[in-house]
Copies of this chain bind each other. A is one copy, B any other.
Amino acid sequence: MNILDKISEYHGQLSKSEKKVAETILANPQSAIHSSIATLARQANVSEPTVNRFCRRLDTKGFPDFKLHLAQSLANGTPYVSRHVDENDGPDEYTKKIFESTMASLDLARQSVDITTVNRVVDLLTQAQKISFFGLGASASVAHDALNKFFRFNVPVVYFDDVVMQRMSCMNCTEGDVVVLISHTGRTKPLVEVAQIARANGATVVGMTAKDSPLAKECSMILALEVPEDTDMYMPMSSRIAQLVMLDILATGFTLRRGPRFRENLKRVKDTLRGSRFDK
């Protein structure tokens, strides 16, 4: 596990001086791995044992062990850390931070994905008579994107961002229909009701949402994505990106399942655009 993330995660449990150590390390992790416990303590304005205690609190054997972990986190492969945007960050800083935390979130999401479920959902989708994508608020644009992907597959696809339309659409569901509901929290009341209606009419309901949420309980199947939401900004950010990547995966699985001839089809769909485009 990435130590830098761990530092952020444990931040609440750290004491005042330990936080100073955390800040110093996060400010320049690269220099931290080349420092001795003494120099680091001096930089953070704390005593050496404090640094040591800090290391232990993060479940490492001591300072040298901590440096090893830190070095590994900094090595190629997991350089992306979720760092929160700060009040005084300039454009260069918040740009960097947002990119990096998005990548870090994707990394986490990747680890939390249950492949078996992905496979089963792809199965479902390929056999569906009709596929519906519904979401509300920020998740509406995710559903919108899903529409954009799946309509190319020559399957009946439905998308609404209007609850009333969603409910009506679900009333007309029949066995063989798949309804995909998107909601990060899974606590949006109207969407939970939509799930109930869809299931009552025989549709299979796939929830792209948090597990153990009210919405999850109403779904036939759950595609859970574990993403720490950036609540600082009061806006959904990373969660949405992870959902979109998940849709990419489902769409990819779909096309692979359909075989090479089907992909020829996709090419034709894309080629059709050419008429409305400037040449390269």
Contacts and interface: CB of A to CB of B under 8 A. Distances in A.
A267 B137 contact: no
A113 interface: yes
A256 B107 contact: no
Contact of A248 (B102, B248, B252): B102
A237 B241 contact: no
A99 interface: yes
Copies held by the complex: 2
11 contacts: A67-B68, A71-B71, A71-B72, A75-B75, A77-B80, A95-B115, A98-B245, A102-B245, A144-B144, A234-B266, A235-B248
Interface of A: 33-34, 64-65, 67-69, 71-80, 85, 87, 89, 91-92, 94-96, 98-100, 102-103, 106-107, 109-110, 113, 115, 118-119, 122, 137-138, 140-142, 144-145, 147-149, 152, 185, 187-190, 192, 213-214, 233-235, 237, 240-241, 244-245, 248-249, 251-253, 255-256, 260, 263, 266-267, 269-270, 273, 276-280
